[in-house]
């Protein structure tokens, strides 16, 4: 794309003019230019995702993922006029992938994930969780009550101040088509439910914090011209879990170490909690997992700050060392101490079997630690090189 911003005819819709003037700079790595596009499109992208998944937090995750995917693949876009249809299609594909992934998960796995999250975070309280579940049920009810071809239109209609032409511009429809879908929805949905839906649509619209969150991810993502092909292709294809794709898109190759660490922590916790001998051991295991998770989150936050305010390699290396030392200490020192009583009981019941299990666990621990060390520092080195710091 040409690095010089294009002039846009004044008779074109404001959104198209904005994209025409900002997209070329964004394709050349201008994050501020792309941030302006995100701010202008966030209502439509989150509405498209929400109409499909019927889950507000998931829709915002999917929308962030779509913006990151588009950012890292902007160089592939030959025609700026195709940006909005392309972005909408990315969003729909990711939302459908999300639904398919959720449907493939067994009910037991979903319930276990929810229980672990609740155990690790004492908030919200049971009463608050009940209220949140009721809100979720209302969202599903409201969206499901609408004709399928009117959901995106209605969400945007209320979020965009009930301006049908604005909705038409955002969704690539004619004003007449938007009005027709609005009329169909009004004819099939009772007024009370439609009023409740309008309140929900306005209240669930993404705030400025959404744009800020995408901007934070862009701060450490590779620019379009230098995006790693494997990560860009994975994001564009919509493969893998939502969390994994967002982190990889946001943090480049360093995200692999973060995702691997976080997955290892919580998958390991699920197994350990099944054999907990008492509440004290459960609490200690959860505390260790929370410490490791906070260390992982702090690592990503630190990388974001370093990317913005430091051009060298020393701070990033030191931060990675501290992060990995914390994870290794929790997995190789703290957790064996927590499990010492359980291991002693197992040794009393069956010494030979317990000894064999301890050997296997030590071998797997060192294998996992070695892979984590190589992946973490390999990702760090790769990120430093592609960012020009080494």
pLDDT in tens, 202-226: 887 887 778 888 877 777 666 675 4
User: Where is pLDDT greater, at 353 or 107?
Assistant: 353
Instruction: Encode burial over 30-42: b for 16+ CB neighbours within 10 A, e otherwise.
Output: bbebbbbbbbbbb
Q: What is the reported pLDDT for 387?
A: 54
Q: What is the reported pLDDT for 229?
A: 37
Q: Is 168 left (phi over 0), alpha (psi -120 to 50) or beta?
A: alpha
Average pLDDT of the chain is 74
Cα–Cα distance for residue pair 103/377, rounded to 1 Å: 36
Residues 337-390: pLDDT tens digits? 998 888 888 888 888 888 888 888 888 778 877 877 787 777 777 666 755 566
Q: How confident is the model at residue 239 (pLDDT cuts 50, 70, 90)?
A: very low
Average pLDDT of the segment spanning 38-53: 89
pTM of the model: 0.51
Q: What is the reported pLDDT for 311?
A: 64
Average pLDDT of the segment spanning 124-138: 49
pLDDT beyond 80 at 84: yes
Q: How confident is the model at residue 227 (pLDDT cuts 50, 70, 90)?
A: very low
Cα–Cα distance for residue pair 339/138, rounded to 1 Å: 43
Average pLDDT of the segment spanning 64-84: 86
Cα–Cα distance for residue pair 284/116, rounded to 1 Å: 14
pLDDT beyond 90 at 91: yes
The percent of residues above 70 in pLDDT, for the chain, comes to 71
Q: How confident is the model at residue 263 (pLDDT cuts 50, 70, 90)?
A: low
């Amino acid at each position: 794309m040409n690095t010089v911003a294009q002039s846009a005819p004044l008779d074109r819709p404001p959104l198209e003019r904005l994209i025409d003037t900002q997209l070329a700079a964004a394709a050349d790595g201008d994050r501020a230019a792309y941030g302006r596009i995100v701010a202008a499109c966030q209502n439509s992208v989150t509405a498209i995702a929400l109409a499909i998944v019927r889950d507000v937090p998931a829709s915002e995750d999917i929308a962030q993922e779509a913006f990151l995917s588009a950012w890292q693949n902007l160089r592939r876009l030959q025609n700026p006029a195709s940006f909005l249809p392309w972005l909408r299609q990315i969003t729909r594909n990711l939302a459908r992938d999300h639904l398919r992934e959720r449907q493939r998960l067994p009910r037991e796995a979903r319930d276990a994930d929810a229980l672990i999250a609740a155990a690790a975070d004492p908030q919200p309280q049971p009463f608050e969780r009940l209220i949140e579940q009721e809100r979720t049920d209302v969202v599903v009810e409201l969206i499901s009550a609408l004709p399928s071809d009117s959901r995106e239109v209605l969400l945007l209609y209320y979020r965009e101040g009930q301006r049908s032409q604005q909705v038409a511009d955002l969704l690539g429809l004619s004003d007449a088509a938007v009005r027709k879908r609005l009329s169909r929805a009004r004819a099939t949905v009772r007024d009370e439910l439609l009023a409740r839906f309008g309140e929900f649509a306005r209240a669930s619209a993404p705030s400025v914090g959404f744009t800020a969150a995408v901007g934070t991810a862009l701060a450490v993502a590779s620019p379009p011209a230098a995006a790693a092909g494997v990560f860009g292709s994975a994001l564009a294809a919509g493969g893998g879990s939502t969390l994994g794709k967002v982190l990889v898109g946001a943090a480049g190759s360093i995200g692999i170490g973060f995702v691997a660490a976080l997955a290892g922590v919580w998958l390991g916790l699920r197994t350990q909690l099944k054999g907990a001998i008492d509440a004290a051991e459960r609490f200690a295991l959860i505390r260790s997992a929370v410490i490791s998770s906070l260390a992982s989150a702090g690592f990503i936050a630190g990388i974001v700050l370093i990317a913005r305010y430091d051009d060298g390699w020393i701070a990033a290396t030191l931060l990675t060392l501290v992060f990995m030392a914390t994870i290794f200490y929790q997995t190789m020192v703290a957790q064996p101490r927590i499990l010492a009583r359980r291991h002693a009981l197992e040794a009393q019941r069956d010494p030979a079997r317990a000894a064999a299990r301890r050997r296997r666990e030590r071998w797997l621990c060192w294998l996992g630690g070695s892979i984590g060390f190589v992946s973490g520092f390999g990702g760090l080195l790769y990120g430093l090189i592609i960012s020009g710091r080494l």
